[in-house]
Structure 1
């Protein structure tokens, strides 16, 4: 009888487009799908509270009828899924993937075409995508516009950056949705390559908070063979619609069935911490594509980098206005005297890395071509294998090997992706032959082929091609200026890091907003780790370069906290070795902090204000805590109830001094040790632009407790 009722209900749905509901495993998240006059729509609620109001779905196609309306329901299936999987590296050693699924097959009788929309409802949100089965009447097609809607239930507070086809390197603006249009002009700041979209277009991951305390995050997952999605706001009706990145001739995506779009994601919680703990983006990606992963390892590194960013040193070997690879004889040129990537200097960095237990040294500016790489739209700009005369590849390879330190390769493409692909195999083979197992790639400037954007389908395919090709040589990739991450590191874990946002380098270009690192974990890090390059101990950039008056808008204590709050399995100690030598007591935390984790907890969180994480190091009983604070001085209060109740621990707290302030006294910090247990509570002052970092280790010998105060 139950089966009969099911088919009767299904038949009614097929004929009339009756709504179909799907709940999350815990029953709190509810999706409703229905056809309204042949148009697919969905809505989402949490605890009966509207998260997404009725919103339309579909796509416009080029030179053929759209996939927007005129549908009937051909089929509908429900299923459930529950697994626990282990990432190669991550914020937790295991991740649960638990959802209920609704797959709706739609038929468009006028064209006899089929479109399947797949929904997955998790306890903390929703993922949906379009799927195009192989069929007679839809084989090759071009997407003109995707019209996925996200109708908001109110004028929410949002943390946003301008929609742009070429860059994410903007400071975040906090405003009501209705205020975005009026603030957009000032939010768009200069960049080496940028293409703003409109007065109300913003980028994902977009973080919002409702007036009644619900938190909503819009993003995408598993971005492959498709263009990156932005969101265009209808600020009269508070409805976002997807905006895809076009190619050089204005098309959004070229498709061949069978195929799918990326997942569109909605994370929703009534606790900010739950947004940070969500694994929806990772769970909507496929399992690891590699049979063996023992060559993929988290990396803590230093680098010949910050001194060039500040202007103390240069990437280029000469001051020639123009060079040509294979034509310019550098042995007959006059060195400029500021080139940082020279053999002696790099050896000094290798020594510092070895002395302090770092895995690798990044070297930028080692290869020919840096004299005229920037802003020239130059095709054959680098060959990625030919060093300057003062950089001895063989000697440095052997020296690094003798110190048990890896060198990290740098491949700046200058946006000439065609050139990079022509050299890619040779460049990776050169790395493998010389002991480099990780590369920082860069895509500064306008893209070649000319007319392509950083976030279009062509470039999305390139970024993944480079990662998969790197795997052939057992190389890990840290891509800067690439498309923002969408959880692909689950499938391709050698994608060990990205920049894809405004990172520490901007602190030397005028500074980031003080609250920047209290927002990024809610936005940029939703899709994967960020190579934020923390650890700047000298905030006054003019110390390195008298012509640069920029200041790093942070206290020293917060720089330590970033190793915990800005998650990455790739962590850089970005400042100069001579600066660290002045603060070796604080530098100890950077030496100690883990970069791979068994467990992660969020102890305090409010986007734009503060975040406090606690993380347990992988394979260890050592915990680390980090707190990043905005411009308002606050007192943080955390419990240590995450510790084992039958153990005592020693907590080393690196914190702002009472008179610390990012602007007036940034290097004022204090280091204290306490005996703590699972019953301990810490009340800790956090300065403007400040924070704190804690290392917590189990007591092995009671003698360790001598002279320590109990917290």
Structure 2
């Protein structure tokens, strides 16, 4: 995680009054931000002269400063930085961070920092007050160019699982006042793809958006909770146990945040790509987050055998499968025999509100000890508010049990109370060498950089929706890599081994099917990324398909290098990732057949003048069949692959 500074250059500082304008360019000159302080503080952004964001306001109203203070007397400081950032785990070993920065320093302890990267633009408010500061409101506007296509992630309120479809619309078809999540994506009339999100979220609520008049989108935030109540969720379809509930905010304060006033507020991030594929390699959310403050060398990414999606459905075994000792030992054996690092023990292992009341059919300590003896580690599921009831004692209990990580669920909020809890949880788990997989959770905000023990985050409409909904469509699968996965790790939980066409699809709790082929499910392990990846379906189904089983045994989850080969939102994608001496390429299609045409020398920079072994995993004669083939190729050979609708392709070069 060491940051290597290559260049830091102070350009100039000047003392200026009202009405000043500034221009800030990306290092390559393609992105241009104009910051204006005439009637109010605004910014606009263009790419190659094309409008990305039109003049939009920035302000904050607090107990220490007001919106008008952003127009006050100030000094302006410009500087630049170019450095390499090393990752502990992720889609690459190293990221180049190169930006130009403008900082407006006001006389009252307030400042605003603007950064322009080749990949986008960001700003944040910074204050220097040695006292508590209450934030009543923040103004962060995003005025979108006319005729843009927007993928508005609509939600009904601030109480949400953060699991939505991203459907293309025009701004004119979205009612004023409609609430949405971030990340938020749109395509400009000139073809740029834009993703808006945030980074470095501490002591502050998560950012939502609201459609305003015309083409305006404004940031909005949940108020600070004053009173909470435990209630049954509207998501009872997710569980079979009616006692499950979540903490609902019943009363709020009249402010959104409170904290010590000597701080930096979260970054507002506008990621920009000149084509759809380019956005897949955008790392701004990660780069803008704080570095870790302790050693995380113990963090081990890997794959996880999951129990919940297939409803503990093991076929042909000599015991009754379910939440019991025999089932989890079977899962451990499957993991150990296939080089899978983890198993997951999900909901039902104990009473939701008392971890000491373990399911009588499950000898939890025996399973954990058995797993450890086989070299397999255990994730265990828990409600966040159950952990919170006796925070320290519960974390100590999990640590003493010998689990490797906790899958914490049902946050369903992003107010400051929840954000503070998540950051505290990550820090305290790190002190105990515990990993975290966060579900029912807001999107990543660079938290996986600050706390690398957060190895995955849900915040996505994933494979589990096949149990109770028809929303997990092929188009959805081909949209989320360009928006949700761009901001950080994404626990979609791939690996379905049972498939039907969208026309044949029927939701099923006991026997869920996906709408895409087995070949696409395999490709997801390359296209989607996270520090842990679930094997969602039953081990007995994987055992019946040696091609799938062998691939899942060997495919990595963390990478040395990533190259986006091609992509079009909602239609097709091809991503190449390198691990060691091997390249893995994942290709996916939505509702149309697609021809993928690669020159591996040009695409992957294969400089060695030798032959490579190319292994291909593709769709067979049916959606549920895989075929394996291999051949020798030269570095300059051009390869063409025709992939059917709703399908996928895996290519391995070595």
Q: Same fold (TM over 0.5)?
A: yes
Choose from 112, 128, 133 the match for 1:117: 112
| Mean CA deviation greater in 146-155 or 67-76 | 67-76
Give distance in 2, aligned partners of 1:677 and 1:234: 55
Once the two structures are TM-superposed, the CA of residue 429 in structure 1 deviates from its matched residue by 2.2
Task: Please name the residue that 1:77 is paired with.
Answer: 77
Quote the Cα distance in structure 2 between the aligned partners of 1:85 and 1:142.
34
Provide the TM-score with structure 1 as the length reference.
0.81
Tell whether the 8 Å contact from 1:397 to 1:407 is kept in structure 2 after alignment. yes
Distance in 1, matches of 2:191 and 2:299, equals 40
Per the alignment, residue 303 of structure 2 pairs with 300
Map 1:437-586 → 2, pairs under 5 A: 437-443=404-410, 454-511=413-470, 512-539=472-499, 551-586=513-548
Q: 1:133 to 1:545 in 2, by over 3 A?
A: closer
- Residues 306, 546 of structure 1: CA spacing in aligned structure 2 closer, same or farther, 3 A cutoff? closer
1:434 is aligned, of 387, 391, 401, to 401
Q: How does 1:305-320 map to 2 (within 5 A)?
A: 305-308=308-311
How many angstroms apart in 2 are the aligned matches of 1:309 and 1:358? 18
Q: Distance in 2 between matches of 1:226 and 1:28?
A: 32
Equivalent residues of 1:177, 1:235 under 8 A apart: no
Deviation at 1:309, TM superposition (A): 8.3
Q: Matches of 2:365 and 2:339 in 1, distance apart?
A: 23
Q: Determine if contact 1:589/1:695 at 8 Å carries over to the other structure.
A: no
TM-score, normalisation: structure 2: 0.87
Q: Distance in 2 between matches of 1:51 and 1:65?
A: 30
Q: CA deviation at 1:616?
A: 0.4
1:652 partnered with 2:652: no
- Whole-angstrom distance in 1 between the partners of 2:82 and 2:70: 35
Measured after TM superposition, the shift of residue 385 of structure 1 is: 4.0
2:259 aligns to what SS in structure 1?
strand
Distance 1:547 1:443, change over 3 A: closer
Q: Distance in 1 between matches of 2:586 and 2:152?
A: 24
Q: CA deviation at 1:311?
A: 12
Tell me the secondary structure at the aligned position of residue 449 of structure 2.
coil
Displacement of 1:606 in angstroms is: 1.2
Q: Which residue of 2 is the match for residue 18 of structure 1?
A: 20
- Matched residue SS, 2:76: strand
1:661-696, Cα deviation, whole Å (9 max, x unpaired): xxxx42143222121232122221222211111222
**1:354 counterpart residue number:** 336
What is the correspondence of 1:162-177 to structure 2 with a 5 Å cutoff?
A: 162-163=154-155, 164-165=157-158, 166-177=160-171
Give the aligned partner of residue 194 of structure 1: none
CA distance in 1, matches of 2:314, 2:497: 17
- 1:433, CA displacement in angstroms? 2.3
* Greater mean deviation of Cα atoms: 534-543 or 501-510: 534-543
**Residues 70 and 653 of structure 1: is their aligned pair in 2 closer, same or farther, counting only changes over 3 Å?**
closer
Compute the displacement of 1:155 (Å): 2.4
Distance across 1 between alignment mates of 2:487 and 2:70 = 35
Number of equivalent positions: 606
Q: Give the Cα–Cα distance (whole angstroms) in 2 for the partners of residues 688 and 235 of structure 1.
A: 39
- Displacement of 1:6 after TM fit? 7.0
Is 1:392 the counterpart of 2:392? The answer is no
Counterpart Cα distance in 1 of 2:70 and 2:368: 64
Give, in angstroms, the shift of residue 544 of structure 1: 13
Which residue does the alignment assign to 1:604?
566
Query: Structure 1 pair 648/551, CA: closer, same or farther in 2 (3 Å)?
Result: same
Describe how 1:578-657 pairs up with structure 2 within 5 A: 578-617=540-579, 620-641=580-601, 642=604, 643-657=606-620
Measured on the aligned residues, the alpha-carbon RMSD in Å equals 2.6
- Residues 199 and 656 of structure 1, relative CA distance in 2, 3 Å threshold: farther
Give the 3 Å change call, closer, same or farther, for CA 220–551 of structure 1 in structure 2: same
Give unpaired runs (5+ residues) of structure 1: 108-112, 182-197, 313-336, 370-380, 445-452, 660-664, 698-711
Q: Which has the higher strand share?
A: 2
Verify the 8 A CA contact 1:556 1:666 in the aligned structure 2.
yes
2:264 matches 1:264: no
Q: Which residue of 2 aligns with 1:403?
A: 374
CA distance in 2, matches of 1:684, 1:233: 41
1:223 aligns with 2:218: no
Structure 1 residue aligned with 2:7:
none
1:547 to partner: Cα distance: 7.3
Assess if the C-alpha contact under 8 Å between 1:384 and 1:423 holds in 2: no
Q: Pick one of 148, 153, 158 that aligns with 1:156.
A: 148
Q: 2:228: which partner in 1?
A: none
In 1, the alpha carbon distance for the partners of 2:137 and 2:432 equals 38
Contact 1:385 1:430 in 2 (8 A): no
User: Residue 215 and residue 240 in structure 1: after superposition, are their counterparts in 2 closer, same or farther (change >3 A)?
Assistant: same
Query: Which contiguous aligned blocks of 4+ residues in structure 1 show a shift greater than 3 angstroms?
Result: 309-312, 540-551
**Could you tell me how far 1:536 is from its partner in structure 2?**
0.8
Counterpart Cα distance in 1 of 2:333 and 2:500? 26
2:609, 2:533 → 1: CA distance?
33
The one of 272, 276, 280 equivalent to 1:276 is: 280
1:418-441 per-position Cα deviation (integer Å, ceiling 9, x unaligned): x42233323322332232111111
Q: 2:644 aligns with which of 680, 687, 703?
A: 687
Alignment partner for residue 256 of structure 2, among 252, 256, 265? Answer: 252
Distance 1:16 1:545, change over 3 A: closer
Give distance in 1, aligned partners of 2:79 and 2:489: 31
1:302-336 deviations in whole A, cap 9, x for unaligned?
02222328899xxxxxxxxxxxxxxxxxxxxxxxx
Do the aligned partners of 2:575 and 2:586 also contact (CA within 8 Å) in 1? yes
Q: Secondary structure at the residue paired with 1:365?
A: coil
1:99-118 maps to which residues of 2 (within 5 A)? 99-107=99-107, 113-118=108-113
Matched residue SS, 2:545: helix
- Pair 218,540 (structure 1): closer, same or farther in 2 beyond 3 Å: same
Q: Is the Cα contact below 8 Å between 1:366 and 1:391 reproduced in 2? A: no
1:159–1:519 contact (8 Å) kept in structure 2: no
Q: Secondary structure at the match of 2:548?
A: helix
Q: Which residue of 2 aligns with 1:186?
A: none
Match of 2:191 in 1: 213
Q: Write the distance in 1 (CA, Å) between the matches of 2:314 and 2:631.
A: 41
8 Å CA contact retained: 2:267, 2:288: yes
- Classify 1:100/1:516 alpha carbon distance in 2 versus 1 (closer, same or farther; 3 Å): same
Shift of 1:263: 0.2
Q: How does 1:170-189 map to 2 (within 5 A)?
A: 170-181=164-175
SS in 2 for 1:304: coil
